[in-house]
Structure 1
């Protein structure tokens, strides 16, 4: 018999070869499948982050429009413009407009009549030129209040305001990979943010705005605020762009020579989805010169037409590099495991006659927390049954340990994400709060004057009310960004819930929704922060009312918690149940993410549930949700029994 035959007949060789073959098969399969899953997971995580970044970019874009509206509203609130019009001093009126434009950072500003005739404007040209053609002027005069938004201005309109604006608006399309062929000639129309505010004098409006073409303010603010101006391999990691149609007119995307990629165009598939169908694009896309993980949404003008796109994205190369590094570590680990497998096979072959000792050694390793010890090949004897039972026990223990570890990692990731977004929210909120305080203070000072006309007093009261509303939004950002200390006091749960329901009764009646409270049991006094907990309940009820059509029902229920579902812990449950539209399955895992919302743009900040979750968590409880599309939703607030104790650690 030759040497190969003699070696194959060796049990030790067979065990080693078999063990290595299995390990090689599993290792290669794991490498291929794991590598693919890892790549998809990395891209999915990147896409989720970019979608959140798009929400922040949208808020920065919209805040610029609101700042223009606010500047015009404040300007017409006083009597100076009325006095200048009465005096008929054109030079003084133009000087006042020039000063206002500089202070508000406006590119064009003027005073127009209802028919579009311009009475005064900044800029070098005479007034006898083209009349203003901004729909916001007519809208503001018709509504009797300031109006603003996105508009498209042609070259003639821009030149009438200032020839320099018309020259700045000229953008020559650049041939771009994966985009439609570049059209002949330059684009002369421009995307602008504009607003108008009606004066008390009938038929006149103050209008103004900024030109977005080649503007750096918004895109650079996004780069600094959202992406912290991070770089990767010498390139800017995160970028933002404002499109006119599919043409980049304002961007911090860089060309190979380092200049801004003005004139490059969006890829064909992105333009078809966002501009053609009005959808939101999220995922991998080719951006000018590079593949990036992107998010696009349409920009709609004041007439409801899709005129452009807002984009944010991050370099795919960073995530691809991270994937390759992880894959390399995975490959080296697999190779190392194969080497270990050879040694382990030899070791098992030598110890095949002593399975009991292996079980003892395995038991000792399990006692030290290792749930994957090797117990050796299963022998054909009664000991084999023992070995099989031991392996099944290890699998069960390992699976339980894995589930616990995954849950811990998931909670840690959520905490880190909320902490990061919280710091961003705190910075933005503090920056907004200071000018808001000034606006509100000066508004109230003006309201104390007794010589103001009734129309001006009414406008000032409107400004004060809207400023207070913005301050409440800022307070929501601050509540999310900091862990407010609980001011606990003994409280009866059912009266607290009943008070929250009573506060929302009128809102429910106005919408035609039946709102009722169903306490199933009286509970002992609990230590609660009444104000914060009532805020959580009101937020939950508001969300339920928003999701429920007229004729529907919202029920608030209190009941004892089920200890079997809480690891034996006693507690109390507060249920907010509605018969509304329900929640899509893909949104359930994101409900408590900061800035995530399914409401229309401008209808919510996406912070309510995140703040509520934080308040309940600081009480030692948790919020869960069950929902099916079309069948309503049930939010459950669980509070532990321990908060009844005076010694509970807050």
Structure 2
């Protein structure tokens, strides 16, 4: 159940469901109904055949009973007639009985006296009944000795060589010598003496009897022309009178009934109404047990017809039904598929459209004719929704583009503001650094100026005190003056670098060579402490109008950055 559920969930597309809805009634339900109908028709057809053979068996049984009854009535009427009395009086009784035997169609007819009836004859219930004054007729089984006592010709007529028969009960007998007799006896008074008139018809090889049954049942005068309808009289399981043929016009006398039929009819006393194997083919058959005067089953009465023609008719009818069914399928399956296609094709088209939309193609549409019914209406509504979706997508894209432009503008503004902020921050940091350096430099310059002023004053005192005596050391004193002036210049430049606002805020024409050399003097400790050599190469550059302090700051920064970028030497 889980497998089929999973399969259904996996494959429950609209196409599959519509195909199942369209084809299941044709491919499953109709075949099932057809099989059920054929089965029901086949059963009814078989029942009709069984009913047919049953009615035919009843006709045969009634004819047998009529023959038995007519034989008894004829013998009883003869026993009560004046003709038999006159024949007896005239001494012509034997001739009279011979003539009457032939006239009545009997195989034997005789009168016996009670005192001459031996124990062998007294065994027959029909004779016993006649001795008591009541006529009786029955079908009895005569042994070969009984027949010989009546007439040798009857014994010869009764004897049949047994023919091995397929499906029969195995037996060691090679011949059947007994005879089945329509046995009748009636009381008769001859010259005041009570006697018994006994007669009979031997049914062994009695072809007129069996052909008459066949004619009555199947309404045919010449049974040899059409052996499909057959009738048979059995002595136990041996055919003693039949129109069943072994081949051509040879009747199947001496053949035997199948073991299955024998068991049902002779052993169990049932009436067989079914198909049965008869000699060499299958027949729709009816078998009726025959009882003797002892109420014992001594044989069977059979009628039947060949199954093959009816089987062929049934086969052809069933084949025609299937051909008609296949024809219906071939005609209506395309119709149903076309009708189903009118449903699932628009649905598949809508599915394909939605897949295109999912992949980004918002221009995909179904474009179905609105006259196609409800599904076409749904498709039209879907197209309308897709139009709205496309329009809203267009608006969203326009809004997105506008938003992107605004974001870019805002981002540029933010970047510009950040750049200004960064520049301002750097300037602020530099200002703080310069302010700190300026304070330090101012303090250092102040501390240096004080001892330099003391040194300068003492040098002047020494020069005044020595007077002309200072000539020998004039060179040294001048050197001290120059160095003091140099120190004062350096301190002044430091103060100018640290506090440029105190030394002028206006631009002036300056010489680049002088500013550069002054700047080197301020940072010579940076590169002199390392193995770095500074080479000055100046071109003939005119003076430029610039703030000397700012220019000096730029040159100092360049020198420091260059020294820091070098690997300790260069």
TM-score between both structures, scaled by the size of structure 1: 0.48
Once the 2 structures are TM-superposed, how far is the Cα of residue 29 of structure 1 from its aligned partner?
2.8
For the pair 1:77 / 2:67, whether they are aligned, the reply is no
Which position in structure 1 is the counterpart of 2:550? none
Once the 2 structures are TM-superposed, how far is the Cα of residue 63 of structure 1 from its aligned partner?
0.7
Once the 2 structures are TM-superposed, how far is the Cα of residue 11 of structure 1 from its aligned partner?
6.5
User: Structure 1 pair 79/233, CA: closer, same or farther in 2 (3 Å)?
Assistant: closer
For residues 191-210 of structure 1, the C-alpha deviation after alignment (integer angstroms, 9 at most, x for no partner) is 01011110134430111111
SS of corresponding position for 2:49: helix
For residues 91-119 of structure 1, the C-alpha deviation after alignment (integer angstroms, 9 at most, x for no partner) is x222101110111011111111224549x
For the pair 1:308 / 2:299, whether they are aligned, the reply is yes
Which is richer in helix? 2
User: What pairs up with 1:489-504 in 2 under 5 angstroms?
Assistant: none
Which position in structure 2 is the counterpart of 1:139? 129
User: Structure 1 pair 68/9, CA: closer, same or farther in 2 (3 Å)?
Assistant: closer
Question: 197, 208, 211: which one pairs with 1:220?
Answer: 211
Which position in structure 2 is the counterpart of 1:94? 94
Q: Distance in 1 between matches of 2:275 and 2:333?
A: 42
For the pair 1:334 / 2:325, whether they are aligned, the reply is yes
Which position in structure 1 is the counterpart of 2:428? none
User: Structure 1 pair 226/233, CA: closer, same or farther in 2 (3 Å)?
Assistant: closer
Q: Distance in 1 between matches of 2:84 and 2:299?
A: 35
Unaligned runs of 5+ in 1: 1-7, 119-129, 354-377, 382-650
Which position in structure 2 is the counterpart of 1:317? 308
Q: Distance in 2 between matches of 1:212 and 1:293?
A: 24
For the pair 1:48 / 2:51, whether they are aligned, the reply is yes
Once the 2 structures are TM-superposed, how far is the Cα of residue 329 of structure 1 from its aligned partner?
0.8
Which position in structure 2 is the counterpart of 1:121? none
Once the 2 structures are TM-superposed, how far is the Cα of residue 236 of structure 1 from its aligned partner?
1.9
For the pair 1:236 / 2:239, whether they are aligned, the reply is no
Once the 2 structures are TM-superposed, how far is the Cα of residue 307 of structure 1 from its aligned partner?
0.7
User: Structure 1 pair 131/346, CA: closer, same or farther in 2 (3 Å)?
Assistant: closer
Question: 156, 159, 167: which one pairs with 2:156?
Answer: 167
8 Å Cα contact 2:211/2:223 also seen in 1: no
User: What pairs up with 1:397-476 in 2 under 5 angstroms?
Assistant: none
Unaligned runs of 5+ in 2: 1-10, 345-372, 377-570
Which position in structure 2 is the counterpart of 1:181? 170
Which position in structure 2 is the counterpart of 1:492? none
Root-mean-square deviation (CA, aligned residues, Å) is 3.4
Which position in structure 1 is the counterpart of 2:405? none
Once the 2 structures are TM-superposed, how far is the Cα of residue 215 of structure 1 from its aligned partner?
0.5
Larger radius of gyration: 2
Which position in structure 1 is the counterpart of 2:477? none
SS of corresponding position for 2:251: coil
For residues 20-45 of structure 1, the C-alpha deviation after alignment (integer angstroms, 9 at most, x for no partner) is 35412234334444333332221111
Once the 2 structures are TM-superposed, how far is the Cα of residue 284 of structure 1 from its aligned partner?
1.5
8 Å Cα contact 2:343/2:375 also seen in 1: no
Once the 2 structures are TM-superposed, how far is the Cα of residue 333 of structure 1 from its aligned partner?
0.9
Which position in structure 1 is the counterpart of 2:107? 107
Kindly tell me the number of residue pairs found equivalent between the two proteins. 338
TM-score between both structures, scaled by the size of structure 2: 0.54
For residues 454-482 of structure 1, the C-alpha deviation after alignment (integer angstroms, 9 at most, x for no partner) is xxxxxxxxxxxxxxxxxxxxxxxxxxxxx
Which position in structure 2 is the counterpart of 1:64? 67
Q: Distance in 2 between matches of 1:282 and 1:83?
A: 51
